[in-house]
């Protein structure tokens, strides 16, 4: 089943130096863009992360320091990457918890003001886990009845993710072929930032999910303890979390 699209969707996959969203860097990014008229384009970039790639990570994706030594940095590639995704929704496998947060960090670090305000995301892994509880290779075998050759190649993984989502729509009649609906189904919990440090309560208001103010409304904390905002801004928190917190603070100031 082909996707019904009102705007383009970019399926993407990252290979990285590790799994720490705040500290690790991208070493390869592949984007597979699908347009509402059915046209498709695919681009893959190797990236010099400017930090060493740990041997245990190279063992997973096969990318070494030597392989990316002469490749462009993410900052150099950021304009091309953002230009490809700026008009699109996003799709991936475990993308809500890892790929999108890490991509956002890299873009913000490169000076690109990335956010999710005018786009939604579809996490194919979440649909898979809600329906079958498997991994990407098993998902590809289960839904597409083919073995996933060359797994952990970013380009291969993005293509596989796209094929899996189409097969999921064929298999599950209750899945609506609409990106917004798929995004809602594949979202684990409502959070304001990618790291899940600021979530929404039952009334749709932002609350902290960590530390001494866990469960408290963000606006109330910022008003009662202004120094907490400064502490977060100066501490080792994800850039997107800081961006969201700043927006909440400015919103509160504008309503006074």
Quick one: pLDDT at residue 182? Answer: 94
Looking at every residue in the chain, the average pLDDT score rounds to 92
Residue range 76-128, pLDDT digits in tens: 999 999 999 999 999 999 999 899 999 999 999 999 999 898 999 999 998 98
Largest Cα separation within the chain, whole Å, is: 59
Task: State the Rg of the chain over Cα.
Answer: 19
- Percent of the chain predicted with pLDDT > 70: 98
**160-177 pLDDT, tens per residue?**
999 999 999 999 999 999
pLDDT of residue 133: 57
What number is the average pLDDT over the span 207-223? Answer: 93
In this prediction, residue 132 carries a pLDDT of: 77
Each residue's pLDDT tens digit, 29-85: 999 999 999 999 999 999 999 999 999 999 999 999 999 999 999 999 999 999 999
């Amino acid at each position: 089943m082909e996707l019904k699209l009102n705007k383009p969707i970019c399926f993407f996959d990252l290979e990285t130096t590790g799994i720490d969203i705040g500290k690790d860097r991208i070493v390869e990014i592949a984007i597979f863009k699908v347009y509402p008229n059915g046209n498709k384009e695919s681009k893959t970039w190797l990236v010099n992360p400017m930090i060493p790639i740990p041997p245990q990570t190279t063992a997973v994706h096969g990318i070494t320091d030597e392989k990316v030594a002469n490749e462009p940095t993410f900052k150099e590639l950021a304009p091309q990457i953002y230009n490809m995704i700026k008009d699109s929704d996003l799709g991936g496998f475990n993308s809500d918890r890892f790929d999108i947060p890490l991509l956002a960090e890299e873009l913000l670090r490169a000076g690109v003001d990335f956010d999710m305000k005018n786009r939604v995301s579809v996490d194919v892994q979440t649909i898979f886990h809600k329906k079958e509880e498997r991994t990407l290779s098993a998902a590809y075998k289960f839904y597409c009845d083919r073995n996933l050759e060359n797994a952990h190649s970013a380009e291969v993984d993005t293509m596989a993710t796209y094929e899996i989502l189409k097969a999921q729509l064929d298999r599950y009649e209750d899945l609506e072929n609409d990106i917004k609906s798929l995004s809602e189904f594949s979202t684990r919990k409502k959070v304001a930032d990618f790291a899940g440090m600021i979530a929404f309560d039952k009334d749709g208001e932002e609350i902290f999910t960590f530390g001494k103010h866990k469960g408290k409304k963000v606006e109330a904390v910022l008003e009662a303890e202004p120094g907490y905002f400064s502490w977060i801004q100066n501490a080792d928190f994800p850039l997107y979390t800081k961006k969201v917190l700043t927006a909440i603070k400015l919103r509160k100031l504008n309503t006074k």
